[in-house]
Amino acid sequence: MFGECDDFDEGRGAVSALSRFRPTPPAVPEPGDDGRRKFRTIWISDVHLGTKGCNAELLIDFLDNVDSETMYLVGDIIDGWRLKKKFYWPAAHNDIVWRILKRARRGTRIVYIPGNHDEMFRQFTGLNFGGVEIRRAAFHDTADGRRLMVLHGDEFDAVMLAHRWLAFVGDAAYGAMMALNRWVNAVRSRLGLPYWSLSKMAKHKVKNAVEFISRYEEVVARAAAQRGVDGVVCGHIHTAEFRLFDGVEYWNDGDWVEGCNALVEHFDGRMEILHWPEEIARREAAAAEQAASARIAEAA
Ligand SMILES: [Mn+2]
């Protein structure tokens, strides 16, 4: 399917290409859907299928352990930019698409709001593929009557101006810069030149990244306030967060590249950000405890 990306850009034939798409059965079979934690709503975004960065195994574990009436895919689910440059599509990525479509067939309402990395799907806004509704943005009414605007969040890039990439300065890039810093200064010292701190510059940039995120959250919340809603749900900056700006709720559902987070709404309207690696650790600890008490009961 994704080898046909050029067809997508052509527009023509793309709709039929997408409607013909059937993922092959999953490499990792899906367990039964009983015993899953049930939520009213789940939001996930920034999965970046088609890249090595995607934590597909963790996302499969998440999908196999939770269920909801409605699920929002808040953009950057498939990384079309990267796929066009280099085709990368392991079995686990297919398993995720299969699970999402299966969920739609089981009756979960699935709303897909493409982001900037999967913007090739934006041309299908208003259409429905296998029970997946494609929207540019959505309004979600919570169980306790709050109205939330749901969008990917790249809409604000123009307002945020330059240095967008700074928000993505990762540990690996930082570490590489530190190594480079050591090398540059070893050379400089041999040449009799004074120490020059690349790391200081880097730290300044990281501080800028923190400021960027904070400013972004405020810009998005203010835009939501102008639309007269109670809050906003977005993704895009790979930073799961809840903040209140003059009573307007800002929720970011995080990502599945670094944080592995999801945003959920409980049946009473209460919302929660789940950090899935922590949920797995908790589940494994509970299982170990249960196994231990079973052994004690057996011994008694
Ligand atoms: Mn994005």
290: left (phi over 0), alpha (psi -120 to 50) or beta: alpha
How many angstroms separate the alpha carbon of residue 251 from the centre of ligand 1? 15
Residue 34: pLDDT band with limits 50, 70, 90 = confident
Contact 254, 260 (CB under 8 A): yes
Report the separation in Å between the CA atom of 120 and the middle of ligand 1, taken as the mean of its atom positions. 13
| Model pLDDT, residue 211 | 79
CA–centroid distance, 78 to ligand 1, in Å, is: 10
Please check whether residue 220 lies inside any domain of the structure.
Answer: no
- 261 Cα: distance to centroid of ligand 1 (angstroms): 15
Q: What is the pLDDT of residues 98-114, one digit of tens each?
A: 999 999 999 999 999 99
CATH assignment at residue 282? 3.60.21.10
Decide if 195 is inside a domain.
no
Q: How many domains does the chain have?
A: 1
Quickly state the pLDDT bin for 185 (edges 50, 70, 90). Answer: confident
CB 5 within 8 A of CB 120: yes
Residue 29 has pLDDT above 70, yes or no: yes
Centre of ligand 1 from the C-alpha of residue 284, in Å? 32
Average pLDDT across the chain, whole number? 85
Q: Positive or negative, the Cα torsion across 167, 161, 125, 5?
A: negative
Stronger pLDDT, 42 or 170, i.e. the higher one? 42
Q: What is the pLDDT of residues 189-245, one digit of tens each?
A: 788 777 666 656 665 666 677 778 888 999 999 999 999 999 999 999 888 999 999
237 Cα–ligand 1 center, Å: 7
What spacing in Å lies between the alpha carbon of 81 and ligand 1's midpoint? Answer: 11
Confidence class of residue 178 from pLDDT cuts 50, 70 and 90?
Answer: low
According to the model, what pLDDT value does residue 202 have? 61
* Ligand 1 centre distance from Cα of residue 181 (Å): 30
Q: Is residue 66 part of a domain?
A: yes
Among 224, 260, 225, which Cα is nearest to 58's? 260
Residue 213 domain flag = no
Q: What predicted TM-score, i.e. pTM, was given to this entire model?
A: 0.81
184 domain-assigned: no
* 146 lies in some domain: yes
> Residue 22 sits in which domain range?
2-163+229-299
Q: Does some domain include residue 75? A: yes
Q: Cα of 32 to ligand 1 centre, how many Å?
A: 32
Question: 70 forms bridges with which residues in the sheet?
Answer: 41, 109
> What would the pLDDT profile of 241-259 be if each residue is shown by its tens digit?
999 999 999 999 999 988 8
Question: Domain for residue 171, yes or no?
Answer: no
CB 79 within 8 A of CB 49: yes
* C-alpha of residue 252 to centroid of ligand 1, in Å: 12
Res 175 pLDDT > 80: no
Query: Residue 34 Cα, ligand 1 centroid: separation in angstroms?
Result: 33
What phi, psi does 182 have (nearest 5°)?
A: -65, -45
163 band by pLDDT with thresholds 50, 70 and 90:
very low
Distance 48 CA to ligand 1 centre (A): 9
Give pLDDT, residue 16. Answer: 52
